[in-house]
Amino acid sequence: MTVKTNPNAHIPKESWPGWTWYAIEFGIVLATSMLVSREITDSFELDPEAQNYLFMGIVGLIFLGWYIGIRGFVLKKKILRNSY
């Protein structure tokens, strides 16, 4: 007895574009780094210009820490890879 498959079957991997997971991850990492940076920056009494530099520096460190440190070495996943 052979089993016939439906050619119109829904296959989630083929219907959901893979790049959207990278976009969702990017948004989560960026939002988290900005929230953490806001909390750290508020604890310093600096003039607004120096506070902006400190804020963006902390955001950049957390962002690079995730994509280079955690994702690259700990999780062993390349940022740009061929998914085909």
* CA-based torsion, 27, 62, 36, 75: positive or negative: positive
Q: What is the pLDDT, as a whole number, of residue 78?
A: 64
Residue 49 pLDDT greater than 90, yes or no: yes
Judge whether residue 6 has pLDDT over 80: no
pLDDT at 62 over 70: yes
Q: What is the mean pLDDT of residues 35-47?
A: 92
- Print the SS3 string covering 38-81: HHHHCCCCCCHHHHHHHHHHHHHHHHHHHHHHHHHHHCCCCCCC
In Å, how far are 11, 45, 46, 48 from 28, measured between CA atoms? 26, 28, 28, 26
Nearest-angstrom CA–CA distance, 26 and 23: 5
Which residue, 65, 66, 38, 69, is CA-closest to 54?
A: 38
Q: Which residue has the higher pLDDT, 76 or 37?
A: 37
Tell me the pTM.
0.68
